Structure 1
Amino acid sequence: MSTAMSLPITIHAQSLRHALSTHSDQTKKQKQQMTRLFHTLLASYSTPFVQRVSPSHPPPPAVYVFAYGSLINPSSLQRTIGSTSALPSHQSHSSIKTIPAVVSGFKRSWEYKCSRRQYTAVSVTRDESAATNGVLVQVQWAQLRALDARESGYTRELITMDKLRLYEKTDELNNGHYAAMDSNNLPSNAIVFMYTLDSSNNHTASPSVPIPQSYVDCIVAGALQTHGYAFAREFIQTTAGWAAHWVNDRNAVAPVRRYVPDCSAGERDLSPDLQDAVDELLKAVVPNAFMHRVDV
C-alpha cells in the first residue's frame, strides 16, 4: 500500500485505538461496534473503488450519435472525436465503427448554411412522412462536447427508440434489401442523439453559398466505403434539394474549394476511380440536378 494511502489509515486507526483504550467504562457491545468500525474503515481503504460500487447500481448509459451527413464518413468523424470503440459494425473503415440505421419522422435536405466556409450542407427537420438513413456511432461524453462544437448551428436532440431502426445485415444492405430489425439490438440503456435544424432556419443554396461537390464527396464516398452501394444510393434518394445551386469544386483551391480534407485525421482526396463511382451514382439517382452541376 502506498504512503499516500496508508497515512489516513494510520490516523484513523490511532484515533479508534485511543477511544477503545481510554473509555474503560464503555460496555462490551460498544467496544465491539467500534472494533467493527475500525475493520470496515481499514477494508474500505484497501479495496479498489470499482469493487466497492454496489452491483445493484446500473451501468452508465451507452451514448450514440445518429450521423446523417459528413459524419457518415469515419475519417471526417475522426477529425472531431478521434478513435472510439462503438459496437462492432458489419463493416468498418478506419478505426471508427459505425452501424447503419434509419430514423423516421425526419426529412434530410440541403438547407443548412455553413458560415465557416460559406457552403450549403445537409440538415434534418421534422416530417412525420419521411425517413432518413445514416449511421450510429458510440461516443463518450467528452467526444459529444467536441461534436457539439462542430455542429454549433444545429440542435442536439434526443431520439426515442420508437423512431430508430437498424439495418439487418450489410450483405443484404448491399443487395438492396432494407429489412430492418428492432432497435433493442442496442444496449437497453442506450441514449441516441441527432443534430437537427429548426425549420425557421431553413436556407436555400445560392451561387455564393452553393452545394459543394467536395462536401458531397465526403458523404457519398464515406457511405460507399463503409456500407456499400445501396446505402449510399439511399442517402441520395432520401435527401431533398439537389436541384439547388451545385458546384464541382474538386479541383479548386481554397477558399473556392469549400470542404478541404484534414490529412492529419486520415482524410484524403478521392482517387479517380472513387470519383467516377460517386459521379455515376449521382448521375443515376439525380440526373437532372447532376446535369446542371457547375465546374469551378
Structure 2
Amino acid sequence: MEHVYFFGYGSLVNRTTHEHTPAHRARLHGWRRAWRAVPERALCYLTAVRDPDAHIDGLIAPVPGDSWAELDRREGAYDRHDATQSLTHDSDAHAVVVYAIDPGRHSDPGPDNPILLSYLDVVVAGYLAEYGPGGPAQFFDSTLGWQAPILDDRAAPRYARARPLTDEIRTLTDAGLAALGSRIIAAA
C-alpha cells in the first residue's frame, strides 16, 4: 500500500519523537524555516515559510492512513501543504506534505514570544543524528526569527516530547545560541 509521507524540519527530524518508519533524509526546495509568533500562543512556533531562494534539510517518513489523525493533533497549529514536487530524496515516496502555519496567521516574534529551550534541544539532537556535526550548525544558520528570546526550561521541560539532554546536545545548542547572540531568559 502506498502512503503519503510527511516532511519534518523541526522536532519531526528527531526520530525518537515519532514512530513513522522508514524515515529518509530529504531536502525541501523553495521553503525556509522560521520562528513565528501566533496570536493564540505566547511561545514561538517553528514553521516553514515560502522562499524561492532557500531550502530546508529534513526528514520524510510515511504516514499510514489511520495515523494522520494523531499526527494532525501533534501538528495542530499547522496546515498540510503539498510538497511532493519541491523535494529531493532517496525514497519511493510519491506524495509528501509539509506542515506549515498559514502565512496570514503568524508574524515575526518579539520579546514576548520566547522559544522553548527544551524544544530546541530536541531539534538539535535530531539534526545531529541525521546530518552529523554540521546538521545543527546548518539549522541555526538557515532559520529566521532568532530575535526571539530563549526560555530556559531545561530544569523542568515544558515541551511535551522533551528528551534526556546529553552534554553533546547541550554544548551544540548553547554554542549555536551564543553565536547568534541570543537572549536567554529563565523559566518562571
C-alpha change, 1:245 and 1:278, in structure 2 (3 Å) is closer
Q: Which residue of 2 aligns with 1:105?
A: 30
CA distance in 2, matches of 1:190, 1:64: 8
Asked if 1:258 is matched to 2:149, the reply is: no
Q: Which residue of 1 aligns with 2:150?
A: 246
Q: Secondary structure of 2:132's partner?
A: helix
CA distance in 2, matches of 1:140, 1:127: 30
Q: Greater helix percent: which structure?
A: 1
Runs of 5+ unmatched residues, structure 2: none
CA distance in 1, matches of 2:35, 2:116: 11
Q: Note the alpha carbon deviations across 1:110-133, whole angstroms, 9 max, x for none.
A: 0154957x4212001222122122
Asked if 1:141 is matched to 2:53, the reply is: no
CA distance in 2, matches of 1:226, 1:125: 22
Quick check: 1:221–1:274 contact (8 Å CA) kept in 2?
yes
From 84, 88, 91, the counterpart of 1:165: 88
Q: Which has the higher contact order (CA 8 A, sep 6+)?
A: 2
Q: Note the alpha carbon deviations across 1:167-203, whole angstroms, 9 max, x for none.
A: xxxxxxxxxxxxxxxxxx432x611011122211113
The alpha-carbon deviation at position 274 of structure 1 amounts to 2.8
CA distance in 2, matches of 1:114, 1:102: 30
CA distance in 1, matches of 2:163, 2:9: 20
TM-score by length of 1: 0.57
Q: Note the alpha carbon deviations across 1:41-72, whole angstroms, 9 max, x for none.
A: xxxxxxxxxxxxxxxxxxx4332110011111
The alpha-carbon deviation at position 207 of structure 1 amounts to 4.8
C-alpha change, 1:273 and 1:131, in structure 2 (3 Å) is closer
Q: Which residue of 1 aligns with 2:138?
A: 234
Q: Which residue of 1 aligns with 2:127?
A: 223
Q: Secondary structure of 2:21's partner?
A: coil
What letter corresponds to residue 87 of structure 2 in structure 1?
L
C-alpha change, 1:276 and 1:216, in structure 2 (3 Å) is same
1:1-296 matched pairs, under 5 angstroms: 60-76=1-17, 78=18, 83-86=19-22, 98-113=23-38, 118-161=42-85, 163-166=86-89, 185-187=90-92, 190-251=94-155, 253=156, 257-261=157-161, 268-284=163-179, 286=180, 288-289=181-182, 292-296=183-187
CA distance in 2, matches of 1:114, 1:165: 34
Quick check: 2:113–2:148 contact (8 Å CA) kept in 1?
no
If you compute each CA radius of gyration, which structure gives the higher value, 1 or 2?
1
Across the aligned residues of Structure 1 and Structure 2, the Cα RMSD in angstroms comes to 2.3
Q: Secondary structure of 1:224's partner?
A: helix
Quick check: 1:112–1:123 contact (8 Å CA) kept in 2?
no
What letter corresponds to residue 240 of structure 1 in structure 2?
L
CA distance in 2, matches of 1:114, 1:212: 17
Q: Greater strand percent: which structure?
A: 2
